[in-house]
């Protein structure tokens, strides 16, 4: 199974204390939005995730370790982050499938109505 792809929306440096090393300089919050791509289409979804990382101690900070102050800052930044609108773009193969289905549907309708016969 493929790992999901994400687009980075916003990176915010926080002035809060890191729960691991207690530094106020290296805490960084990143908001990402899920991006789906396959053979038929590309799409941006509504799924948002956030990741926190301390650059001083090089540690990922998970929500279990967040303090109340960090949770408040994350909630504020989450409201301030503007996600890209949900969208879908068909690739060439997707358009070919749609056209082939449409052609088959037209032939079936013409056969049923008696306009086309073999």
In 3-state terms, what secondary structure has residue 16?
Answer: coil
Q: In angstroms, rounded to a whole number, what is the distance separating the alpha carbons of residues 94 and 39?
A: 8
Q: Report pTM.
A: 0.75
Question: What pLDDT was estimated at residue 53?
Answer: 93
Question: What pLDDT was estimated at residue 108?
Answer: 92
DSSP code of 84?
A: P
Mean pLDDT by groups of 10 residues along the chain of 118 residues: 82 89 89 91 91 91 89 91 91 94 94 82
Q: Residue 57 contacts by C-beta under 8 Å, 6 or more apart in sequence? A: 18, 20, 21, 23, 26
Beta-carbon-side half-sphere exposure of residue 21 (alpha carbons within 13 Å): 14
């Amino acid at each position: 199974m493929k790992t999901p792809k994400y687009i980075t929306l916003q990176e915010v440096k926080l002035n809060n204390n890191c729960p691991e090393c207690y530094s106020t300089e290296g805490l960084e919050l990143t908001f990402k939005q899920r991006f789906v791509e396959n053979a038929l289409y590309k799409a941006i979804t509504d799924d948002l995730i956030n990741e926190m990382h301390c650059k001083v101690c090089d540690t990922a900070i998970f929500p279990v370790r967040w303090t109340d102050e960090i949770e408040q800052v994350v909630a504020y930044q989450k409201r301030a982050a503007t996600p890209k609108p949900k969208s879908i773009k068909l690739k060439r193969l997707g358009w070919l499938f749609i056209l082939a289905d449409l052609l088959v549907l037209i032939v079936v309708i013409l056969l049923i109505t008696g306009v086309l016969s073999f």
